[in-house]
Amino acid sequence: MREIIFDTETTGLDNRQDRVIEIGGIELDNHFPTGRTFHVYINPGDRKVHPDALAVHGITDDFLKDKPAFAQIVNELVSFFEGARWVAHNATFDMGFINAEFARLDLPSISNDLVTDTLSLARRKHPMGPNSLDALCRRYGIDNSHRTKHGALLDSELLAEVYIEMIGGRQAALGLMSGQSRGEIADTDETIVPTGQRPHPLPSRLSEADLTHHAALVAKIGAKAIWAKYDPSL
């Protein structure tokens, strides 16, 4: 399964008027980073960067003057994401802007069925929060000390590490983080230890007294005792 962990930076917060000015993406294949990335800055035309947005990402109007318009990079964007899930933190925001840009070019929008929101995942996994990208980096011990401003590619790289942690895939990805390819990992000489049923079951750790007390408890609860559903002898 291909997934693209991505992030956007924009001129402001209103996707009806504001524009995307940066997109960064990291490719995962079955939760393994492949090394393929997508990164582009985009000229927003006559839309200026709002001061509040500038304070977040530091991308100036002057910097964007010689960058391509969205229409000039859209084919490259679609090609990179084709066949993959779109994965973003607070994906409603990013997809709102991406689909607004597509609509301006009369292109079909990306279905929510193809999108994974890591913020929603984090809120289910850590309901007490906080669940910002910085907070999740701290929670999972991911070094983000070099992140002084938001940047689409940098944030995508951090989010990819956070996402792999949240889905329990860090152990599988460790080899890639040290520079190994999936093929190199597959070709290593590993001893396969077969597993199966024990020839003799382990003895019960419950004493006769424990069993007697448990049976008495079940009898006291009566027909509503959940254990009776699994053990007719009770």
CA distance 65 to 67: 6
H-assigned helices in 68-205: 70-81, 91-104, 118-125, 133-139, 152-166, 170-177, 182-187
Closest CA to 56 of 17, 11, 95, 16: 11
CA distance 155 to 153: 5
- Which residues, at least 6 apart from 219, have a Cβ–Cβ distance to it below 8 Å? 234
Choosing from 39, 150, 200, 213, the catalytic residue is 150
**Catalytic residue flag (residue 150):** yes
Q: Kindly list the distances between the CA atom of residue 18 and the CA atoms of 31, 45, 56, 115, 117, in Å, as whole numbers in the listed order.
A: 33, 10, 15, 22, 22
Task: Supply the residues annotated as catalytic.
Answer: 150
